[in-house]
Amino acid sequence: MLLRSSVLRATSRVATTRSLLLRTSPLGVTTPWISKHAGIRYNSSDATSNITDIQTQLPSIDDLTTSTIDQTSHAIGELSQHVGYLQSIGLAQTWHWPADIIQHTLEYMHVYTGLPWWGTICATTILIRLLMFPLYVKSSDTMARNTHVKPELDKLNKELMASSDMSKSQSIALQRKKLMAKNGIKNRWLAAPMIQLPLAIGFFNALRHMANHPVDGFTNQGIAWFHDLTQADPYLGLQLITAAVLISFTRLGGETGAQQFSGPMKKFFTILPLVSIPATMNLSAAVVLYFAINGSFSVLQTVVLRNKWVRKKLAIADVAKPPVGLPKEPEKGIWQSLKDNMANAKDQAEKRRIMKEKEEKMHAIVKEQRENARIKIVRKTKFHK
């Protein structure tokens, strides 16, 4: 019994000594207890500070995930802050295609102004419309001058359409040209608003491709209820704004402020924007934002060009009111107007064909006369000499 108890006491002493020698460090690494206390004994002043500086607890997984997400969110949009980024991802490859030109312009605006993408789209749209404003001023002036000579022009145009004689048609065309020159009308300015069509197509394609890629920053640089420019507007707010402004500037007289739409045409331009809402509901918010800003600028431009003080300062002619007392022609529907225009175009093409045939016959007669004029009459007596 004495031997067994002494063996047990010796075993317990060995186990206690071993546990003291192999204590674990705060970071989970086993460190000899003796070496640790030796460091404290011979360098006690530094050991206290070192022990307090040792991190006793690792960060949790939630903290690491949150910090990583924050760093990633701050990094979104950094790539697009450099000129040439769009070209590096396959966009803005040329300088002659409308969509590529718009993408280059958007990139320069985004980089050099520091605006977010929604502000870049708005600023670029407004800048281009401001550059086009002088063309709309010329177009508004031309339309207004046309209203002063509209009865005479309509009369000459009807005579020209009804004429099948080439000389008479040329005479009528010359009268019309003199009338327009006398009143300072240059019809080339009427085509100025048509420049808006390729620009609109360019914006549509450029923004659609940028949203589909998507461009860095498009997913979080929206505003208000459309924070993600790559997704469709969930509340159709942009579509409703676009439809409202399109109806407004049509009622006000078009983008030039001088257009006079008939009743059926006003109904058509009222229904068309409403139909466009379901047609554009799946487009990205970036594309519809352009439509909304462009339409809003059109309404503002119409209001400005209708202002008498502005028209006086810009030397724009006033729109003449229709003469009182003259019988008004009955208004035609849209489909009837299209049918009449097609019929008139067909009649005009037939008349031009007839006139061309007459002209070719006249040229043949003149050519024959010239050839006959070169023939000399030689008497028979001259052959015997």
Residue 114 lies in a domain: yes
Alpha-carbon distances, residue 313 vs 62, 117, 264, 310 (angstroms): 66, 36, 34, 5
C-alpha to C-alpha distance for 124 and 229, rounded to whole angstroms: 16
Q: Are residues 162 and 139 in the same domain?
A: no
| 63 confidence band (pLDDT: 50, 70, 90) | low
| 267 confidence band (pLDDT: 50, 70, 90) | confident
Q: Are residues 174 and 275 in the same domain?
A: no
Q: Where are the alpha helices (DSSP H) in 22-163?
A: 33-42, 44-53, 61-75, 85-88, 98-113, 117-148, 150-162
Question: Residue 363: what pLDDT?
Answer: 81
Q: Which domain holds residue 178?
A: 150-184
Of 313, 333, 355, which residue sits at a domain end?
313
Residue 270 has pLDDT above 50, yes or no: yes
Question: Residue 61: what pLDDT?
Answer: 54
C-alpha to C-alpha distance for 368 and 81, rounded to whole angstroms: 75
Of 293, 313, 333, which residue sits at a domain end?
313
Alpha-carbon distances, residue 253 vs 43, 144, 241, 258, 345 (angstroms): 92, 11, 19, 6, 27
Q: Are residues 154 and 285 in the same domain?
A: no
Residue 358 lies in a domain: no
Q: How many CB atoms lie within 10 A of CB 210?
A: 28
Residue 275 lies in a domain: yes
DSSP 78: S
For 323-354, the pLDDT digits (tens) are: 655 555 555 555 666 666 677 777 777 777 77
Q: Are residues 173 and 249 in the same domain?
A: no
| 85 confidence band (pLDDT: 50, 70, 90) | very high
Residue 100 lies in a domain: yes
Residue 226 lies in a domain: yes
Q: Are residues 242 and 128 in the same domain?
A: yes
C-alpha to C-alpha distance for 329 and 335, rounded to whole angstroms: 17
- Indicate the number of domains in the chain: 2
Average pLDDT of the residues in 250-256: 72
Residue 268 lies in a domain: yes
Residue 60 lies in a domain: no
C-alpha to C-alpha distance for 1 and 118, rounded to whole angstroms: 92
Of 124, 159, 184, which residue sits at a domain end?
184
Residue 52 has pLDDT above 80, yes or no: no
Residue 206 has pLDDT above 90, yes or no: yes
Task: Give percent above pLDDT 70 in the chain.
Answer: 69
Q: Are residues 139 and 215 in the same domain?
A: yes
Question: Residue 284: what pLDDT?
Answer: 94
Q: Mean pLDDT score of the chain, rounded to an integer?
A: 76
For 223-240, the pLDDT digits (tens) are: 989 999 999 998 999 999
Q: Are residues 257 and 298 in the same domain?
A: yes
Question: Residue 26: what pLDDT?
Answer: 40
Q: Which of 36-45, 158-167, 201-210 has the lowest mean pLDDT?
A: 36-45
| 59 confidence band (pLDDT: 50, 70, 90) | low
C-alpha to C-alpha distance for 258 and 320, rounded to whole angstroms: 10
